[in-house]
Structure 1
Amino acid sequence: MLDELVRRDPDATLAIDAHPERPITVRRAELRDRVQRLRTELADAGLGRGDCLAVWLPNWSDSLVFQFAAASLGAHVVGLNTRYNVEEVTHVLQRSRPAVLAIAHDFHGLDLIATLRDAVRTAGTTAPPPAVVVVPGPHGRPCEDPTHYDVGAGAWTPSDAAAPSPGAHEHDELAVAFTTSGSTGKPKLAAHTASAVVSHARADADGMGIRDSDVVLCALPLSGVFGFSTAMAGLAGGAACLLEPVFDEDGVVADMARWGVTHVVAADDMLTRIAAAWRRHALDLSRWRWLGIADFLGRSHEVAAWARDEFGTLTSGVYGSSEVFALACFWPDDEPAPRRWTGGGHLVSGEMQARTADPATDEVTAPGEQGELHLRGPNVVDAYLGSPEAAESSFTADGWFKTGDLAEIDEDGAIRYVCRIGDVLRLRGFLVDPAEIEHRLAAHPAVTTAKVVGARVGDGSTLAVGFVVLAPGEVATDQDLRDWCAAALARFKVPTAVHVLDRMPTTSGTNGTKIRAATLREWAQQWHAEVAR
């Protein structure tokens, strides 16, 4: 894919390393030359077919270079978020056993090497220490003493003098792995082959309408599946990737205007901050054509309407995961809003298939009926690093991947994501998507964020319990908010209680900030226990 881009136009911009004063543009031919030089160094360090390269870098063009160089050797990349702690790094070392680890030098005040040393000690004999490549980054200070980064297998900094070593590995090996959410236990590392990466990226680029001269915002970490899939789609379509190593909404909006961003993929938490920054600065974002949005905080419709009204941007809800890539499906341009703003859509490739089934029996459900979403095709996970037994529980007997998500599939094949199966509420015998109640609560003039979870009662039934954050200076009581829901929802969907919080409990991951539903469920259960006394 990279060679094809270079043949088409070697001088076209492939990446932009963002910086408020000193941005750096990277030409296609230049990046390929960097890939070839790094390929030689990694091969000299012993990295080869089937080996793992851990990449602990922010969104720098170096991250792309390491990905392409590793894949050309038949090795695969595991990305580490720069926010990872010792436990998370240890888990990756044990599962993936990287032969080499690329680490950011002197980035954003983070002491990554101290975390790595602690992780290597914690892993002990369960994972050999990796060789370390110290990467200063496009705007960083050179590392004068790479031996400081040696954790037992040597350390060095990439050299510009290495002789180019052209050529790609002839076999279709694993190329990349992503950490799963870990919602059902320890996170897994879902790995995909090189051909799957390329075919999915090309399908995404075609569906998103990406073409030469476009600019794709890459603000989500490339170590996560949403950031990675966005960048690969941009490259496959011939666009330039605007790489933001740190998310600062004011800086991102300024860069979007400066470089004429055309495509954005993000969750509603990040986009809400981008919208607020634009209102402060009112910069020209008129080139922004397409937005893929994931609803983590219940604000996706609000953001979609803002982008449409201000810039004419077409917004689509998206669906994906570490096991099936991000952007596995989204809505066509002619799908009317607001349905187009919801999670789901059409599969991006004709080689992919979807069905829904009873979560307990795997018996296939009819079109329009809710069931667990099953997928198969080249985008589906090829292996779980360090955990081959994980595939046994992840696939049906006839070879379909079980996503763990509740969905509906229409007659025309459109997929409507409902929620995680563990989040669905059974209220008075009916299955209810909590998002339906959340959207009603969020529509209240005083509410900025809403989340609804279930609390189990003594007879085994479930109560819907809401949690909201109010806008500054606003006041709304539990009764006010329940009355508001009752005016538009069926009686059995009205929350038994709505609690007002100063802020939601959240967790920040590679794909964005999510509300910690498990914590809210604990609070809801505690509330019910106190009321029942």
Structure 2
Amino acid sequence: MVMPRDLPDLLGRLVREDPAAVVALDKGPGGETIPVPRGELWRRVGRLAEELRTAGIGAGDCVAVWLPNWSDALVWQFAVAARGAHVVGVNTRYNVAEAAHVLDRARPRLVALAPDFHGLDLPGRLRDAVAGSSAPAPAVALVPGPGRRVPPPAEVAAADVGGGAWAPDPAGAALQLPSSDPAALVVAFTTSGSTGMPKLAAHRAAGVLAHAVADAAALGIGRGEHVLCALPLSGVFGYNLAMAALAAGAVCVLEPVFDADAVLDDMAAHRVTHVASGDDLVLRLAEAWQARPRDLSAWRWWGAADFQGRAAELAAWAHEEFGTVTTGVYGSSEVFALTALWPAEEPTPRRWEGGGRVVHDGIRVRVVDPVTGEPCAPGTEGELQFRGPNVVDAYLGDDGAAARAFTADGWFRSGDLGVQTAEDAFVYVVRMGDALRLRGFLVDPAEIELRLAAHPEVRTAKVVGIEGADGATEAVGFVVAESGREPDPAGLRTWCAEALAPFKVPAAVHVIDAMPTTSGTNGTKIRAAVLREWASWWR
């Protein structure tokens, strides 16, 4: 495929090829499937781009998109890019403190959100987030979603948080999309940071396009094939898979809510060929399929991230039942998802491991000693470092983060341990830090610790991860109380739930007299290994 000039050009080429071909399958309010033709998506992008122009959105501006997996999320990405602005995706699970952090860092001029999705009061969360943020109040655009009513004027006015509010007009005039700057930022993803709150890793259009085209080829997605888009488009994993599907001329099967039975029904009905996800998602699909089998014989490829250590057994199950080929993958918010994957001819079990061959020759990888920075000998573990158009271009609201993330000679420090097996291939080993993988999301425990420590009855907090009863990682908190106080563990979990996404709320919180510590050359440190032992025993 010839590289598109910019994001609007990618969509425009699909329209010129066949405007009636379906580009996405939406879910209506009753769960019904709503096909979205390429021409319709193009017209919606043009209409929204004109409304964004009228709203004053232009080059360098940020637009926060707080939407589920609807085709509207794709429309907003393309329309914002056409205005020379960039999108920051916001997970619909985000609570007030997380949304306020995004506002502080990204300072969006506009927030597009769903007024009534899955019982979530996103307008209310935004209002509370604005109250706790130092950023100027953004404008609000209410996006009703596929097959849903346009919000009445009173509902739109009630969503105003100080910057005005409006609802996109489905019958509005369409703008003939101008060319945009491929060197401009177009998207940012949240990622764990050392401060305990997410960083916002931003990427330029040229990198997004190069990666989408390379992924489409590496995954072998064919025109008209159906790709499962069950991971949030606000995150890098879901976003990169959807962009690869578009680059290939395939159909995005959008799942705004993950229900294993409903997803299996869609996979069977639409003959889904490609899935990329953590093993946690496929584990739920396997359990539902065993309870009620469906015909998934079209499913030929799974790009697996081994979050729970179940990828190998699930890969064997999928191959035995459907002939599915599973490959391990590698990626992150900073270097894109699906940056590396193993080819189908790689023998198992190596093919099921994390890592792989980089998806195009513009991506370079090396492994260095984490202490000295010197290149490691082949077969030796070290830090994975990257260069190329896939690598993060900026951190919104944190100019110093980019400088800290790169070596003096321009390589991105991934913070992951790996082993290089060839010039363009590596095996991922483990995260160098202590980040937790909670329900498929990478979470810095410091984020939860900060919330626990903010409680007036808590003096010190530490969070560790242990294996739960279902094999998934659980966060467990330990706190030392302020003198004379006796915080209630259940109340501390409620305190966390008021500010954090549900998957970040600790499974348990234990109040202890003192933290186990050890003294070393770098000072006194809390012994996380001891806390993990306690957490496992008490569970």
RMSD: 3.0
- Residues 1:42 and 2:42 are matched in the alignment: no
Match of 1:8 in 2: 17
Q: From 526, 530, 537, give the equivalent of 1:525.
A: 530
**Is 1:107 aligned to 2:107, yes or no?**
no
Query: Would the alpha carbon gap of residues 278 and 392 (structure 1) be closer, same or farther in structure 2, given more than 3 Å must change?
Result: same
Can you list the C-alpha shifts for 1:293-331, whole angstroms capped at 9, x where unaligned? 111111111111111111001101110000011000000
Change (3 A) 1:466 1:59: closer
Once the two structures are superposed, what CA deviation does each residue of 1:431-468 show, in whole Å capped at 9, x if it has no partner?
Answer: xxx99xxxxxxxxxxxxxxxxxxxxxxxxxxxxx9955
Displacement of 1:505: 3.5
Question: In structure 1, what is the equivalent of residue 150 of structure 2?
Answer: 142
18, 31, 52: which one aligns with 2:27: 18
Who is 1:250 aligned against? Answer: 261
C-alpha distance 132-515 of structure 1, shift in aligned 2 (>3 A): closer
Partner of 1:220: 231
Task: Identify the range of structure 1 (94-103 vs 162-171) with the bigger mean alpha-carbon deviation.
Answer: 162-171
Alpha-carbon spacing, 1:136–1:517, altered in 2? closer, same or farther (3 Å): closer
Which residue in 1 is equivalent to 2:82?
Answer: 72
CA distance in 1, matches of 2:210, 2:350: 27
Question: In 2, are the aligned partners of 1:18 and 1:242 still within 8 Å (CA)?
Answer: no
Deviations 1:201-229 (A, max 9, x none): 11001000011121010000000000101
- Per the TM alignment, residue 278 of structure 1 is displaced from its structure 2 partner at its CA by 1.1
The 3-state SS of whatever aligns with 2:268 is helix
Query: What is the TM-score with the length of structure 2 in the denominator?
Result: 0.80
Counterpart of 1:131 in structure 2: which amino acid? A
> Distance in 2 between the 1:319 and 1:237 partners?
20
Distance 1:328 1:527, change over 3 A: closer
Does the 8 Å contact 2:27/2:146 carry over to 1? no
Match of 1:90 in 2: 100
The answer on whether the counterparts of 1:53 and 1:101 sit within 8 Å (CA) in structure 2 is: yes
Equivalent positions of 1:206-355 (< 5 A) are 206-355=217-366
Q: 1:166 aligns with which of 170, 176, 194?
A: 176
The equivalent residue for 2:416 is: 405
Secondary structure of the residue aligned to 1:409 is strand
Match of 1:122 in 2: 132
Q: AA paired with 1:402?
A: R
Are residues 183 and 289 of structure 1, via their aligned partners in 2, closer, same or farther at CA, if it must alter by over 3 Å? farther
Deviations 1:51-79 (A, max 9, x none): 00100000000000000000011100001
Q: Relative to structure 1, is the Cα distance of residues 117 and 514 closer, same or farther in structure 2, using a 3 angstrom cutoff?
A: closer
| 1:162-181 Cα deviation digits (max 9, x unpaired) | 22111234322100000012
Q: Alignment identity in percent? A: 55
Map 1:360-375 → 2, pairs under 5 A: 360-375=371-386
Which residue is 1:431 aligned to?
A: none
Is the CA contact 2:327–2:352 (under 8 Å) kept in the aligned structure 1?
yes
1:288 to 1:522, Cα distance in 2 relative to 1, 3 A = farther
Distance in 2 (alpha carbons) for counterparts of 1:188 and 1:291: 29
Unaligned runs of 5+ in 2: 1-9, 438-463, 477-495, 511-525
Secondary structure, counterpart of 2:43 in structure 1: helix
Distance 1:408 1:29, change over 3 A: same
Does structure 1 conserve the Cα–Cα contact (< 8 Å) formed by 2:468 and 2:474? yes
Runs of 4 or more consecutive aligned structure 1 residues displaced over 6 Å after TM superposition? 510-523, 527-530
What does residue 480 of structure 1 align with?
Answer: none
Number of equivalences: 461
Which sits farther off after the overlay, 360-369 or 55-64?
360-369
Residues 167/529 of structure 1: CA separation in 2 closer, same or farther (3 Å cut): closer
Cα distance in 1 for residues equivalent to 2:19 and 2:325: 31
